[in-house]
Amino acid sequence: MEISEIKTECNKIERHLIALEAERDTLLALLEEQETKLLDLETQKDHNKKGQIFLRLKAADTRIAALATIEEIVTAALQEIYGEDYIFTMEMKEVSSKEGENTGLFTILPCIEKMVNGKLVKRPIKGSNGGGVLEIISVLLRFAFGTYNNYGGIYVLDEALSAVSKDGVMEKLLIFLDRYIKELGLQVILITHSAEKFSQISALNYLVYKELGIARLRLISRDDIIDMQDFDVSS
């Protein structure tokens, strides 16, 4: 091979190397740019995570204050209905991540504290109380949350207190509901098969019945309800 040909080939290789170096530099610059963006994203992600946790913790502080107010409302109602042995609490437990990090999330466990054999015992309301207690607490919680959030709409209770069977408890419950609903100006629609009890405090009573397969509604008085009750018993 002639020297001129060798020089030509060398020049060609050199130009190719220069092109490859330029391409390498471009790729390195792009890599550095992407690494910088990735670092920025990771930093932003960390900031967002910390921000979310901060907001959740602040929300938790607000939640604690709200729960305290709701506990007071429900406890006062339970003590009026069942006696001073009853205290309603809502235990808030922090939820941690698999890595043990603070997530800012919480679970809430409603409990009842009451005197048992001279000792104050705390138990979850579910599974450790009768159906009547659970139903009353459920209704009280609806009213308490609504009151706390200034809810001005209608409360619809569908057989919500059907498990309350003791006459003494029912009498105190009716007195409480009558006073509480009137004091706060609440609007409550109660669907019940125990109209003879709740009609003692209701403003209006409606009978829902079927006629030729069509559901109909009729305004009735408390006397009508008592008459229907007497008829059912006698028949």
What is the distance between the alpha carbons of residues 225 and 235, in angstroms, rounded to a whole number? 15
What pLDDT does 21 receive?
Answer: 87
* Residues 6 or more apart whose Cβ sits within 8 Å of residue 225: 195, 196, 199, 205
Is the Cβ–Cβ distance between 90 and 145 less than 8 Å?
no
* Residues 6 or more apart whose Cβ sits within 8 Å of residue 59: 104
Give pLDDT tens digits for 24-69. 888 888 888 888 888 888 888 887 777 776 766 676 677 778 888 8
What pLDDT does 189 receive?
Answer: 94
Closest to 90 in 3D by CA, of 120, 58, 126? 126
Q: Which two tokens stand for residue 95?
A: 């939820």
What pLDDT does 219 receive?
Answer: 93
Closest to 66 in 3D by CA, of 145, 139, 136? 145
| DSSP-based three-state secondary structure for 102 | strand
What pLDDT does 100 receive?
Answer: 65
What is the distance between the alpha carbons of residues 4 and 12, in angstroms, rounded to a whole number? 12
Give the residue extent of every domain in the chain.
152-235
The reply to whether CATH 3.40.50.300 applies to domain 152-235 is yes
What pLDDT does 235 receive?
Answer: 42
Residue numbers of the chain with a pLDDT score lower than 50: 233-235
| DSSP-based three-state secondary structure for 92 | strand
Closest to 182 in 3D by CA, of 199, 203, 197, 156? 203
Helix or strand run (H / E) with residue 41: helix 3-82
What pLDDT does 232 receive?
Answer: 53
The backbone torsions φ and ψ at residue 163, rounded to the nearest 5 degrees and listed phi first, read: -85, -5
